[in-house]
Amino acid sequence: MGYVDFGHPDLGYALTALGYAEPFLKVHGTWRFSARAGMGVAYMSNPYHANSNPLNRTYSTKLAFPLSAGLSAYHFLNDQWAVKTSVSFEHISNGGLKAPNLGINYPLIALALEYSLDTYNGSPVRDLEPIKKQQRQELLLAYSIKEDSVSNNQSIATLFYNRSFGGGRINAFTLAAMLEYRQLNVYENAMDQWSIAPLVGNEFLLGRLRFGQQLGLYLMQASEAPNNLFQNYYLRYQISEHLAAGINLKAHGRVADYLGLQIGFVF
């Protein structure tokens, strides 16, 4: 849970609730290090309004979706108390649900005293079982609704093929392909509504839960795409041996494009 004051009356403040994945990069000794990524929901106090708040172009809904990624250094005082220093990059937007939606991006530096209900000690590497580097393939359908620049609702349907290659105990590398259909109200020909792109990325493996980050390059892009590169972030849960579901956020640089719901077949 968190409170963020954006320091300007037009932007107001945010109340945030995030879930994190934080794998430790070094788990023994007085000094330990971790990488952390998270996403969640936020209440935004002062969204854009054409009459009462026209200068706020960063968000236009009370509901938003924060993202966070960063690194932390721990200095352990004993098994449960530690001084923690963190550096992270924060992003908040509504995922393209309603325009305008430029989003808010800011760096965060934090110093904290942390207490753990349990110890952080992990098993020595020599005692762990050998890594089984498994490959996984997924075929996923995604759907989203967003508002365009003239307040018309767009339906967006996406087909993803994703292949995962085991990297370490907590991460894997991914190669993917995306076929996207975007319902446009104004276009010159039908192909203006389609996008095709390969993607490459990384995902953190947290049991049945996976958090992925991918970079894509359009081979063919819909007329609304602002540039050739985009990012795709996803949180996906493997329900059973052959079924997975989750959410994904597609963005162009610092501007979120849309937030989608995904379901797919694992093989």
Average pLDDT, the chain: 88
Q: Which two tokens stand for residue 146?
A: 């967003």
Q: What angle do CA 65, 104, 61 make, to 5 degrees?
A: 50
Q: Which positions ≥6 away from 31 have C-beta within 8 Å?
A: 73, 74, 75, 76
Whole-number pLDDT of residue 132: 65
- Write the DSSP symbol of residue 241: T
Model confidence at 150: pLDDT above 80: no
**Beta pairing partners, 156:** 144, 182
Q: What angle do CA 82, 88, 89 make, to 5 degrees?
A: 165
Model confidence at 128: pLDDT above 90: no
Whole-number pLDDT of residue 79: 84
DSSP per residue, 160-193: EEEEEEE-SSSEEEEEEEEEEEE--SS-SSGGGG
DSSP per residue, 97-137: SSS----EEEEEEEEEEEE-SS------GGGSPPP---EEE
pLDDT tens for 22-55 read 888 888 889 999 988 888 999 999 999 999 999 9
Domains and CATH numbers, the chain: 2-115 (no CATH), 131-266 (2.40.160.20)
Q: How far apart are CA 165 and CA 203, in angstroms?
A: 10
Model confidence at 242: pLDDT above 60: yes
